[in-house]
Chain A
Amino acid sequence: MKKTLTGAFAAALGLAAIMPTANANPEQTTNGAQSPAATMAAQTCGGCHGTLGQVKDTAFMPLAGMPTTHFVRAMEAFANGSRPSTLMGPLARSFSKEEIQAMAEYFAAIPKFNHTATK
């Protein structure tokens, strides 16, 4: 049987729904559970640092797989100005200590993205 299937027809049938999602559910990638609170804070980073911190870019630091202490120290240094920045200073000062710790643990638990630069 041979028949041509248009994209619109396939979409109308919900074909896309049977495709597996390539991204792991972050709540399943961790050794511990990713709490909704940690996810809430960490997902705000995604616009620059990539979904799950796995940015495919050379300018922004990938956060996935970053050791917890590394993340926390970087945020502290941005906040107190000892590490020069553009907008990370203002952002780091706007998150609480608890939020920064939660974000750090969230990203540490996500596998590093073996990325290649797109540009």
Chain B
Amino acid sequence: MSTMNRRNFLKIASAAAAASPFLAGASAKAAEEKHVVVIGGGVGGATFAKYLRMYAPEIKVTIIEPKKEYQRPYGSSEVIVGNVDMEEITISYDALKNKHGVNMIQDLVTEIRPDKKEVATAGGMTLTYDRLIVSPGITFDYSLIPGMQTPEAQAQIVHGWDAGNQLETLTKQLQAVPVDGTVVLVPPPNPYRCPPGPYERAGLIAQWLLNRGDKNPKVIILDPKDGFTTDVTMLQAWNRLYGMNLPKPFEKNYKPEEVATFKKYDKPGVIQWIMATEGGRVVKVDAANKIVEAEAGVFKADMITIIPPLKAGKIAIEAGLADKSGWCPVNMKTFESKIHPFIHVIGDSCIAGEMPKSGYSANSQAKVVALQVKALLNNQPLNEVVLQNTCYAKAGPNDYGMFVADVFRQNPEGVLKRAQQPRYLPFNASTAQFRLSAVYLEAWMQSFTQDIFS
């Protein structure tokens, strides 16, 4: 709240005059000024808005986002184990507004009208655009998990995969796990947001239980997949830290001499990773009794967290921007929708070749699209693209970090492919390398957030 004097009133009045043409029914005169509307104030939308304002301050940028503040999902599993609190993952939009001149509208887009190049909001606004950026994140699809379709089941077993109150639910559930209890964690099938994330969460929970003094806790991962991003590093770490044997079917991912260096234990460790070929696929869930039935058998748990299959954000699906995969096909040079022109889909919702659905990917895509939209609006040639992704994850302890790092370019067919270079810590990385990766992980939480929102 601020008090308005006459001088400010005049400023606002002239600003209103400048802004109003972007409402539907724009006058012809104002049509020369370009307007880009962004749906979603997450990593993709916020990065795009900041960078387009920086690269092309003459273009007006409006973000429409229902939430007043952003809660970052990246690194948010650390809330569950008390490494950070909710306040620490909550970020203000003030710098986007006041420093970068982004027009922030707190509202929900309910309809996209590609033929009229306008969007309508729940609050009754209609905005016209020259280019529309759709960056709505993800939705959750429980339809393929028997026993998880009811609201009751979804309230008892939560994912916490989009920050929010579910993180607090998971915190309480973890604290209620009895000594030497069992936690079952179910990662989603590909593709999904934050590929190393479910496994990092398993490690964080295992470490939390051990730190509490549990001697024989169990964290069981029931996986619909046979591998995951950072797996070769993570399994090494878990073999050292949590008494986990290397699963036989996974040995093929290492050289024989590397397999020989893994420690062997005569009983299951704290973390058990049951991959798909060993029966990890979940068949049925009894939420009320905390029982998960997988192909490998029936697991009675004290706490269950299931990250269900994911799809593109709601508005992207409703606007017909997604194909039958549930994700949005785009031209990977511009991220313009292959279905509706003048609309660019970025972040988790889009299909970006080999790029993972991660915060860094969304950030990198947003910057590329800022350059391309600037070129398109000024009738300049498009740029060849290069993108990057970096994901950090902890194995469990705070001084045990790892990463995946990739650079992406289009192949001759236009598909984004990763440069074929090493992407993980080297095999048998030293504890110093794990520790240094954890230092960078912590620093990245700050620097990455600043690159998007500051």
Contact = CB atoms under 8 A, between A and B. Distances in A.
Contacts of B433: 86
A94 B407 contact: yes
A48 B101 contact: no
Interface residues of B, number: 72
Contacts, number: 191
Contact of B439 (A10, A20, A51, A59): A59
Q: How large is the interface on A (under 10, 10 to 19, 20 to 34, 35 or more residues)?
A: 35 or more
Interface string A26-47: 1100000000110111011111
Interface stretch (B129-137, B319-327, B386-394): B386-394
A105 B307 CA distance: 44
Interface in A84-119: 86-87, 89-91, 93-95, 99, 118-119
Interface stretch (B156-164, B340-348, B442-450): B442-450
Nearest to B97: A16
Given A2-B3, A43-B367, A48 B105 contact: no
Contact of B15 (A18, A41, A46): A18
Contact of A11 (B22, B105, B421, B443): B105
Contacts of B387: 44
B18 A14 contact: yes
Interface stretch (B54-62, B176-184, B216-224, B290-298): B54-62
Interface in B5-21: 5-6, 8-9, 11-12, 14-16, 18-20
A40 B384 contact: yes
B383 A37 contact: yes
Given A18-B14, A43-B51, A59-B440, A36 B421 contact: no
Contacts of B14: 18
B79 interface: no
A69 B2 CA distance: 50
Interface in B387-438: 387-388, 390, 403, 405-407, 419, 421-425, 433, 436-437
Nearest to A99: B386
Interface of A: 1-8, 10-23, 25-27, 36-37, 39-41, 43-51, 55-60, 86-87, 89-91, 93-95, 99, 118-119
Given A5-B12, A17-B19, 15 more contacts: A2-B4, A6-B1, A14-B18, A17-B101, A21-B57, A44-B388, A46-B367, A47-B388, A50-B450, A51-B54, A57-B450, A86-B436, A90-B424, A93-B421, A94-B421
